Amino acid sequence: MNNLGKYLEQVRREKKFSLREAAQKSDLSYTYIRDIELGMNRKTKKKVKPSPDSLKKLAEAYGIEYYELLQKAGIIDEGTESALDEANSKLDKLIEETVNNSTHIGTIPLIRTICAGDGIIATENIEDYVAYPLLKGNKPDYALRVQGDSMKDVGIDDGDIVFLKAANWVEKNGQIVAVIFNGEEGTLKRVYWDEIDPKVRLVPENKNYKQIEAYPNEIHICGVYAGHFKSEFQML
């Protein structure tokens, strides 16, 4: 009888579990548990090598250490538990450092006011600066404060601060943009186009507003949406 099997049988008897009780508690068959205790399959006469999952079930059923069973089964060496704890500690530290290094607080110019329904985008005079936790390599170019509710169905509400990457067109169909239409309106909309239609569609995210159809030369995209913060966001 191998060391693992002898140990498991000893623990089972100390717990006063019958094989059927042990099977019920561990969700393993009682014949398999007995084979593990004997160290061999009684039908095939071959050596039994319980899986880590089976050992975990037995450890939980008997209230004993899982790592100890892994060691007795020869799956891990002595000292592996402390090595794993040390590795996990190093991994936790690495994850924390990665998170801390992936962001930093930056400032972005706030460019007057944009009306997300029907207002006029202001000139490019900087009104203020807003703080923003920036993912490295993903810094927006400027911010605009929303007035109106034409984008409320995607969570962009009146007073929110929207962050934009400066661009004169979009990479993907359906992206949210700050766009001037016909030289007059500054607005937030989704922009859609179709290869067979010469016009583009500026689509709000509010059923109370109508979409706008325009030729490309009638619109000017000022920036592509890169995130937003709610109206309680604090400025510096």
pLDDT in tens, 79-101: 555 655 665 566 566 556 655 55
Query: According to the model, what pLDDT value does residue 107 have?
Result: 78
Read off the pLDDT of each residue in 100-127 and give the average, rounded to a whole number. 58
- Report domain 3-100's class: mainly alpha
pLDDT tens sequence across 36-79 = 999 999 989 888 888 888 999 999 999 998 878 888 888 776 55
Parse the chain into domains and list their residue ranges: 3-100, 106-233
Active site residue 29: no
Comparing 81 with 184, which gets the higher pLDDT?
A: 184
> Across the chain, how many H-helices and E-strands are there?
6, 9
Tokens of 195: 């290869």
Active site residue 189: yes
Residue among 168, 177, 161 nearest 128 (CA)? 161
Task: From the candidates 26, 54, 150, 152, give the one annotated as an active-site residue.
Answer: 150
End-to-end CA separation in angstroms for the chain: 73
Overall pTM > 0.75: no
DSSP single-letter state for residue 184? T
Equal CATH topology for 3-100 and 106-233: no
Beta partners for 115?
147
**The domain at 106-233 falls in which architecture?**
Ribbon (2.10)
pLDDT tens sequence across 141-175 = 888 888 789 999 998 988 888 888 888 788 888 99
Cα(212)–Cα(78) distance, rounded to whole angstroms? 71
Task: From the candidates 26, 54, 152, 189, give the one annotated as an active-site residue.
Answer: 189
Asked if 233 and 130 touch (Cβ cutoff 8 Å), the reply is yes
